[in-house]
Chain A
Amino acid sequence: MTLPILQLRAVGKSYGTVRVLKGVDLDVKRGEIVSLIGPSGSGKTTLLRCINFLEAYDEGEVWIKGQLLGYHSKGRTPQDRDSEAVIAEVRRPVSMVFQQFNLWPHMTVLGNVAAPLVLAKKINKTEAHRLAGLALERVGLAAKVDAYPAQLSGGQQQRVGIARALAIEPEVMLLDEPTSALDPELVEEVLSVIRELAHEGMTMVMVTHEMSFAAKISDHVVFMEAGRIVEAGPPARLFGKSATPRIQQFLKPWLDRSLSI
């Protein structure tokens, strides 16, 4: 049996006195697609951000490929944290797609995708541009390499965000509500890119409100509420006949809508 690529053990996070994550356990195996669903404020995004230490978790453990992320000892105070360089090294297999794209506005599309390769992976500029071009081709934006982010539609910007996350050749991709900032027309172009990555076997952890998409694409669906995992399992169980009343209640509007159409 192979080691899960991501292992979360009793992960917790507090902002001051508010405990937003209350001991989350989760394993993600290579090639798996895990969707995090649940009401707003349930801690999905915070959990995702803890997986690459954009948010410093303060309880439990996050393991990436068998390496503990962020801390070098048992304690979880800022003094126990690893240096930025060590954290960067451990999170290297992980890349991220942001809800608000977070493209760098002063760089062209090609520059955005190439920047992590040049700056973090120390690949020379010519090679980085070639790799960035390939990544942009995969998301169907080869024609836009010289454009600036502001000249693109939201959907195109998010595809650049995906290309940037792909170019570093990640082993896991974290997607934080990748389509929430897009209008309905643009959602589909981004989802189809993600679908393609799924078919190619990319490991993904995705926070999403696109229930139909999550139901079709995921190997596991995790329903969170109030900082806890309420239920986790295959989509057929959660979206079909979950025994948990809270999940039925959460999914009811979506089910009603899909039945009435």
Chain B
Amino acid sequence: MNVSPEHIELLWRYINAMLVTLGVSLLAAFIGMAIGFLLNVLRICYPRQLSIPYRLLVWLIRGTPYFSQLMIVYFGLPVIGLTLSATQATVASLALYSSVYFAEIFRSGWNSIAPGHLEAAQAFGINRWQSLRHIEMPQALIFALPLLGNQTVLVIKESAVASVITLPELTMTTGEIVSATYDYVGPYALLILCYWLLAQTIALAVRGCATLLTSPQRTL
């Protein structure tokens, strides 16, 4: 097969679209992770006041499709005077959507810590805050790490929905190429490959983090 200028242009479009997908998803995942972590720390610190609002939020966001949430953020918020660009709306809605999943991941991480580890901290005069910071958080993170990576991959795949509000990410770009060339197999095969590559990158990054987190240099 000869490599024509059209091919190079096509490749270039895929690379650009991949960067849009990756950028939007990673930004949303990081914001979502931060919100989820915060939600969880608040939930631990104020169990009586916050456990019901927390459950309500999780129930509401997890129980509705991401598509509808994106629609409300992109088309609904302008009604109250808040107009977001397609990129902003995607990042905001994806961050919100993923935050409750991330919060639940952190929650399960915290629940996985054996009560004896906290008792040992208590018995040795380590206070509540130090225990949270030095005993619980590192353990919860190590436990949660693979799940965080998994959820990030899900965010990347969910970002395809943003094609309906014309965000020039992978799925939207592929759709355009398909409608211009009437070739379905080639572009969609490439699309699959692109998403797969992104997922592999995340998996590699997670493995790297895991090695870092458990390296002996991190001894207290």
Contacts and interface: CB of A to CB of B under 8 A. Distances in A.
The reply to whether chain A is a binding partner of chain B is yes
Contact of A107 (B114, B116, B130, B219): B219
Contact of A115 (B116, B126, B139): B126
A164 B123 CA distance: 11
A85 B127 contact: yes
Chain B CB count within 10 A is highest, among A84, A96, A102, A146, for: A102
Chain A CB count within 10 A is highest, among B124, B142, B216, for: B124
Interface in B80-128: 114, 116-117, 119-128
Nearest to B116: A102
B31 interface: no
Given A88-B127, A91-B125, A104 B135 contact: yes
Interface residue range, chain B = 20 to 34
A95 B123 contact: yes
Contacts of A118: 220
Contacts, number: 77
B150 interface: no
Nearest to A110: B219
A97 to B, nearest CB: 10
Contacts of A96: 120, 123-124
Contacts of B117: 102, 104-105
Interface in B107-161: 114, 116-117, 119-128, 130, 134-135, 138-139, 142
A114 B218 CA distance: 13
Nearest to A100: B116
Contacts of B130: 119-120
A54 B125 contact: no
Contacts of B123: 52, 54, 91, 95-96
Chain A CB count within 10 A is highest, among B122, B125, B135, B138, for: B125
Interface residue range, chain A = 20 to 34
A105 B138 CA distance: 10
Nearest to A165: B124
A108 B216 contact: yes
B125 A105 contact: no
Contact of B128 (A54, A84, A92): A84
B166 interface: no
Contacts of A106: 138-139, 142, 213-214
A164 B120 CA distance: 10
A105 B120 contact: no
A111 interface: yes
21 contacts: A52-B123, A85-B127, A88-B125, A98-B116, A98-B119, A102-B114, A104-B135, A105-B117, A108-B216, A111-B219, A115-B220, A116-B126, A118-B220, A119-B124, A119-B125, A119-B126, A119-B127, A119-B220, A121-B125, A146-B216, A148-B214
Given A119-B134, A120-B124, 17 more contacts: A52-B123, A54-B122, A54-B123, A84-B128, A88-B125, A98-B116, A100-B116, A103-B120, A106-B139, A106-B213, A110-B219, A114-B220, A115-B124, A115-B220, A118-B220, A120-B130, A164-B124
Top 9 A-B pairs ranked by shortest CB distance? A120-B125, A116-B124, A102-B120, A111-B219, A102-B116, A88-B125, A96-B123, A119-B126, A111-B220
